[in-house]
Structure 1
Amino acid sequence: MAGQNNAEDCSDFLERIVYLIDNELDEADCSVVRQHLDECGPCLEKYDLERTVKAVVARSCSESAPKGLRDRVLVQLRQVQVRITEE
């Protein structure tokens, strides 16, 4: 089957790749997705890209927003909450 995957076959795996990265698949599904990644270069590239993006975002999320920005966001959230409760 190596090299014989088509876009239709791969579309089933693209969503599951994200779940694999997030450890949200059971072991049986993990095995199926890993086997597909071993056989499909384009999906393996997508997996590597997704994993890299998640790592960069995780590193970036460890920073704190400046106090002024945090205060403005909190004010906006409170205004939205008030509007929602008034409706």
Structure 2
Amino acid sequence: MGHQHDPEDCADYLERIVYLLDNELDEADCALVRRHLDECGPCLEKYDLERTVKAVVHRSCGESAPESLRERVRVQIRAVQVRITEG
């Protein structure tokens, strides 16, 4: 059985989101991130990350997200990654 999401997977995934943010999201990346958010919403919600990432993804998919917003997400993601890996 086991639970659906391995914390390590989430940490890896967050790493990819940061990478995508830095390289500007294109439509394919946006779809990917959105799908993960749908699947992993509860995990990210626990770390209060879902709303912020969704905001950036939403902005980035239509236009370029402001650097301040992207930076905030990067900082939050780093903090969450630490919390995930430390359990």
Provide TM-score, normalisation by structure 2: 0.40
Bigger relative contact order, structure 1 or 2, given CA contacts below 8 A and separation 6+?
2
The higher radius of gyration belongs to 1
Provide TM-score, normalisation by structure 1: 0.40
